[in-house]
Amino acid sequence: MKVRNLLGERLKTVSEDCQIESQALMLRGGYMKNVANGIYSFYPPTQRISKKIQQILREEMDRIDGQEVLFPVVMPASLWEQSGRYTSIGSEMCRFTDRSDNKMVLGMTHEEAAVQLSSNVAKSYTQYPYMIYQIQTKFRDEPRSRGGLIRVREFTMKDAYSFHTSQKDLEKYYKRAYEAYNRIFKRCGLKNFIAVKSDSGMMGGKISHEYMALTDIGEDTLVLCDCGYKSNMEVADSIVCNEAATPNELKKVPTPGKKTIEDVCKFLNADVINSCKAVMYQENLTDKYVVVFLRGDLEVNETKLRNYLKKEIHPAVDVECAGLVAGYCGPYGLKTSATIVYDKSLQGAANLVAGGNEVDVHYTGLNIERDIGKVKYVDVAKAKEGGICPVCGKPTLRISRGIEIGNIFQLGDKYTKSMEMTYLDAANTAQYPIMGCYGIGVGRLIAAVCQESRDEYGPIWPISIAPWQVEVCNLRVSDKDVTKTAEKLVKSLERAGIEVLYDDREVRPGFMFADADLFGVPLRVIVSPKTNERAVVEVVSRDKTIKTEFPVLSAAKEIVKLVKKMLKEFEV
């Protein structure tokens, strides 16, 4: 491929509003073009990267006995009504009616389609387990697309579905999928990624893991410990140890104008960990109020609260009408119809500062068991930096950020049961299969790799997924000898199966190299009057670890050897 023929343009600056570096580099490098909010077309380099990733996905899915199938993008709503998700999923699912007024949806995931395809054909336990997967376009009407390919509305996804006769068999397979995912990300050249426990969200099921590329610009917050504990903040346990103390007297104290727990504690000369703060929510459907009391130094983990309440919630507005005094709400003397939730961080806490349920008034010396009575404590707080690890018990938690690049779920029988898919077991009894599902978004993976592997001049693509393996830069196309050397080399490399990008434009070397940096091709070969004079070619790697010369005569052979060696590093 010649750069002069390649569709796309490299830019010095980017006009679109970019939140993250990989997005800016990929727009500057002619990788993609925005078509609508969260919808992109791919220029050839991105499609080349995408196809290489798809090939890795296929190989690893086949390695764990996957069978490739194809589900439709457009599905009848009836299929989603069977599973109950037609109503349980909100406006991120795209719905429309076809010309015959049938309700249709655009697939955002394909559990229903996988069950439909399996129904009536996997009838005997002898046919289990099996796994089917596809690589297909998905559409999710995200409210906020961001970061280029990080969060889009339309994307190519590898989604896999496994079917089992027991939870135990699913767990066995789940481990294989877990390992396959590790291999996939390694083969794609990602270095900093981990699998964390996660919330299963709209998928249903109990156990699930997210694969996270660790990066400061990640949308997800992760809780990690040196002992190996890894969890998405959404589901991370918050463990708090309160020291015992002799109970003081409960006292009403004036706290004029002090509304935040930090201000109150400062004013009263108390430590924030000896305070009880209130955070107020409302249920989405009923507007009913929910008050969470937790230790003043902690934050509410809304996912855990949501899972505990089994209700969707939002931050409360207009709390006065529920008898709640904003800024001064506390458990003592509170008169309200709101649901009260006590976080575990208050268990065993003594002598707390807490709201007095009157403007400008707080209490000190609050001891919940003595002053309120027995209450139920629930863990609805966020884990925090330096917090106690639920596995090793040491106060060594670290908080990191990550981009979700894949996920695996143990679904149980949610879909097979609701859609009435059964098989006959050895005793000839009808049973619901147990399912697992496994997803990886291709575009987001490309963006995550770019975000991790880049410098200020462009992406540094791992050779396993790079759009081309070698770029040959001809610095003087008007010089017949230089061009002869370059073209001969390009041909020899291509004959040896190497993917070559060839730049023979009549442009300044600086311009050509700036473009090459944006292409991010792992190996760059420079042919110029100078190198030609000495009968060598110059070879530098995009990551600057290699800078060498090869004699023109053996250059092709040496470069092929080098490419093979570099590829080998990504074999797993």
Q: Which residues lie near a second copy (CB under 8 A)?
A: 1, 4-9, 30, 33, 35-37, 39-44, 46-48, 50-51, 65, 67-76, 79, 91-92, 94-96, 98-100, 102, 104, 106, 113, 116-118, 120-122, 126-127, 130, 132, 134, 136-137, 139, 141, 143, 153-154, 156
- Quote the Cα angle for 244-247-249, to 5°: 160
Residue type, 80: W
Q: Is the dihedral of CA 340, 341, 343, 344 positive or negative?
A: positive
- Quote the Cα angle for 338-343-349, to 5°: 120
Angle between helices 442-452 and 21-28 (to 10 degrees): 100
Q: What is the rounded (10 degree) CA torsion for 142, 146, 152, 158?
A: -110
φ and ψ at 427, to 5 degrees?
Answer: -90, 15
Q: Tell the smallest beta-carbon distance from residue 373 to a second copy (Å).
A: 46
d(CA 270, CA 453): 47
Give 96 or 511: the residue with its C-beta nearer to a second copy.
96
Give Cβ neighbours of residue 315 (< 8 Å, ≥ 6 apart).
Answer: 280, 281, 282
Give 43 or 342: the residue with its C-beta nearer to a second copy.
43
Give 108 or 527: the residue with its C-beta nearer to a second copy.
108
Q: Tell the smallest beta-carbon distance from residue 175 to a second copy (Å).
A: 19
Q: Tell the smallest beta-carbon distance from residue 498 to a second copy (Å).
A: 15
d(CA 448, CA 569): 19
Q: Tell the smallest beta-carbon distance from residue 87 to a second copy (Å).
A: 16
Give 35 or 572: the residue with its C-beta nearer to a second copy.
35
Q: Is the dihedral of CA 151, 154, 158, 164 positive or negative?
A: positive
Give 193 or 502: the residue with its C-beta nearer to a second copy.
502
Give 74 or 553: the residue with its C-beta nearer to a second copy.
74
Q: Tell the smallest beta-carbon distance from residue 71 to a second copy (Å).
A: 5
Give 120 or 286: the residue with its C-beta nearer to a second copy.
120
Give 136 or 367: the residue with its C-beta nearer to a second copy.
136
Tokens at residue 41, please? 């077309």
Q: Does 129 sit behind a cis peptide bond, omega within 30 degrees of 0 on the bond before it?
A: yes
d(CA 467, CA 52): 8
Q: Tell the smallest beta-carbon distance from residue 381 to a second copy (Å).
A: 32
Residue type, 503: D
The size of the chain, in residues, is: 572
Q: Tell the smallest beta-carbon distance from residue 114 to a second copy (Å).
A: 9
Q: Tell the smallest beta-carbon distance from residue 59 to a second copy (Å).
A: 13
DSSP state of 108: S
